Amino acid sequence: MMKLLVESDINIVGGTIGGGVEDLRWPRPVRSGNVVRLEAEVLETRRSRTRPELGIVKVRLTMLNQHDQPVQISTPALMVPTRDPAGPAP
């Protein structure tokens, strides 16, 4: 899952999961030969209180196997660069 996330279009600062992970489940095993893909749903965005150049994006990540069955589900808070550190909160 981390490899798919790092290679995605989500620009994570240094690969940092800044606010921890609320939920982490493995509803099915991943087996040798499985083909997996990652879906991300943005649940919440906010600016970091201590570092205005960073935003925190809470996402639901679902990794699916080749049968579209979820094999891992997590809800991390990712640190991402903001477009305008001086601008309004996201």
Summarize pLDDT for 11-32 with one digit per residue, the tens.
555 555 667 888 999 999 999 9
* Average per-residue pLDDT for the chain: 83
The CATH H-level (homologous superfamily) assignment of domain 2-81 is Hotdog Thioesterase (3.10.129.10)
Q: What integer pLDDT is reported at residue 37 of this predicted model?
A: 93
In this prediction, residue 87 has a pLDDT band, given cuts at 50, 70 and 90, of: low
Q: Report the predicted TM-score, pTM, of the whole model to 2 decimal places.
A: 0.75
Between residues 65 and 2, which one has the greater pLDDT? 65
Residue 59 has pLDDT above 80, yes or no: yes
Mean pLDDT of 51-78: 92
- The domains of the chain are located at 2-81
The per-residue DSSP string of the chain comes to -HHHHHTSS---GGG--TT-EEEEE-SS---TT---EEEEEEEEEEE-SS-TTEEEEEEEEEEE-TTS-EEEEEEEEEEEE-S-TTS---
